Amino acid sequence: MADKFNVAVLGATGSVGQRFIQLLQGHPWFEVNELVASDRSSGQRYADVCDWRVSDAMPESAREIRVKGLHDSIESQVVFSSLPGGLASEVESRLASEGKQVFTNASDNRMVPDVPLVIPEVNPEHVGLIDVQRKNRGWDRGLIVANPNCSTIHLVLALQPIWEQFGIELAMVTTLQAVSGSGYPGVPSLDMIDNLVPYIGGEEEKIESETTKILGTLTEDHIASAAITLSTQCTRVPVRDGHTESVSLKLRKSASVDEVIEAFSSFRALPQELGLPFAPEKPVVVRDQPDRPQPVLDRDAQNGMASVVGRVRECSIFDVKFMVLGHNTIRGAAGASILNAELLVKKGYIS
């Protein structure tokens, strides 16, 4: 195992933390050696402090690991963080200043100007911002790379093939989001039996700001925001996993529905070329049945790493509309961070 990078998972007992551990089992490049949780779990066996809730059994390799507290020192080179917003910023910066390569799923760092917010199929060139980050902060080997919010990722993955071929001026979006997005215990069952909630605090702002950053252009020392206007409405629906989004787009260049479908279907990008272990063969999967995508049937497409698009058709107001669905805790969270880390291995930033 000497040739694998040692990995620490921050927020290891939370739902995204558990996904990190599950997904990293048997990873060819990374090996989980340290699990970090709240200070009161420090020193205990992971099996004793974690209420494991992703469906498969807890990996044997994780059970016996002694959990570290947030203030304990970390030895691993690579850090995956799923710390709650508010707490993440300070801890992640400290670790990066100590030379760690930090891949964060937390919201704190996403919009920080010198932190790249990366989807490897969309804006891999933004990793160049790391040089600015290191210079700004006086870091040598350390770095912080963020991945977007779970709703943003699947939206932008679906936008990218259209964005690069036809340009997008306007995007009207309504989301129908799964409850796992807010962790455990999260959303009360009284809100989700025979009900839905038309509001998720802060989510709409995140989608709108993160999208313009991801689609933006790397200049010498910052990301210039993309010229796209979004209007979003987020709802929570009684689904465990899988965010669904209703999207209407005004394009810059005209395109037929068939051309849009072809753009989705033929979309391949750098992770596919590089053969990154977590790269889906097809980042965007197109369904042609009229009643797809659906959470239970489509969220696990391409091991949960794809965005699944359906009902692609003309919009009577804008140009094209469609539904997009994706797994919110795999491609939308832990899997996104892992793919970012894989990209940085190939780019030579991990060492």
Which residues are marked as active site? 150, 243
Q: Interface with a second copy includes 235 (CB under 8 A)?
A: yes
Map residues 295-324 to x or -, x wherever contact with a second copy holds by CB under 8 A.
Answer: xxx--xx--------xx---xxxx--x-x-
Closer of 252 and 311 to a second copy (Cβ): 311
Closer of 7 and 157 to a second copy (Cβ): 157
Distance separating alpha carbons of residues 23 and 56, to the nearest angstrom = 11
Map residues 135-174 to x or -, x wherever contact with a second copy holds by CB under 8 A.
Answer: -----------------------------------x-x-x
CB of 115 to a second copy, least distance (A): 24
Closer of 71 and 199 to a second copy (Cβ): 199
Q: Interface with a second copy includes 58 (CB under 8 A)?
A: no
Interior CA angle at 195 toward 190 and 199, to 5°?
95
DSSP 9-41: EETTTSHHHHHHHHHHTT-SSEEEEEEEE-GGG
CB of 249 to a second copy, least distance (A): 11
The residue within the footprint of a second copy, chosen from 3, 56, 64, 273 (CB under 8 A), is 56
Closer of 83 and 237 to a second copy (Cβ): 237
Q: H or E element: which one contains 133? A: helix 129-137
Closer of 126 and 206 to a second copy (Cβ): 206
- Residues 187-226 touching a second copy, rule: CB under 8 A, are 187-199, 201, 208
Question: Position 20: which residue type?
Answer: F
Give how many residues touch a second copy by CB under 8 A: 60
Sequence length of the chain is 351
**Preceding amide of 293 cis, omega within 30:** yes
Instruction: List phi, psi (to 5°) of 269.
Output: -145, -165
Cα 181 to chain centroid, rounded: 11
What is the maximum span of the chain, computed from C-alpha positions, in angstroms? 60
Which tokens hold the place of 82?
């799923």
Q: Interface with a second copy includes 238 (CB under 8 A)?
A: yes
Closer of 222 and 292 to a second copy (Cβ): 292
CB 319 within 8 A of CB 259: no
Closest CA to 14 of 33, 31, 40, 35: 35
Distance separating alpha carbons of residues 7 and 3, to the nearest angstrom = 13
Q: Interface with a second copy includes 231 (CB under 8 A)?
A: yes
Q: Which residues bind a second copy (CB under 8 A)?
A: 53, 55-57, 170, 172, 174, 176, 179-180, 184-199, 201, 208, 229-231, 233, 235, 237-241, 244, 246, 248, 290-297, 300-301, 310-311, 315-318, 321, 323, 325
